[in-house]
């Protein structure tokens, strides 16, 4: 994995790319073969990646709509998806 250049480039990552990098960071930290200073640095980047993924997921959820049906069961429109149900 390339050395991180801070959080500036994270905002440009797609969800899939950010998640893949986050999984790599978790794997490296779990193996325990990273020096302390490097561990701290990649942990901080991992936190920024996690926050970015969370933001992208919340944005996607806000755009998802559910189809509403009329009494006959036919689609009648859409309404915002209520994810708290």
pLDDT at 84: 63
Structure tokens at 42: 């990649």
Statement: the pTM of the whole predicted model exceeds 0.75:
no
H or E stretch at 76 = strand 75-80
**Cα(34)–Cα(43) distance, rounded to whole angstroms?**
11
**Residue-level pLDDT at 8:** 53
| DSSP string for 12-70 | GS-HHHHHHHHHHHHHHHHHT-S-HHHHHHHHHHHHHHHHHHHHHHHHHHHH-EEEEE-
CA max distance for the chain: 64
Query: Rounded mean pLDDT of the chain?
Result: 84
Residue 60: predicted pLDDT: 85
């Amino acid at each position: 994995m390339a050395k991180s250049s801070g959080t500036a480039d994270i905002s440009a990552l797609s969800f899939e790319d950010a998640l893949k990098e986050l999984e790599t960071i978790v794997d490296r930290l779990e193996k325990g073969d990273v020096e302390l200073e490097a561990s701290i640095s990649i942990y901080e980047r991992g936190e920024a990646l996690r926050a970015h993924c969370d933001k992208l997921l919340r944005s996607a959820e806000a755009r998802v709509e559910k189809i509403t049906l009329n009494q006959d069961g036919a689609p009648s429109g859409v309404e915002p998806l209520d994810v708290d149900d």
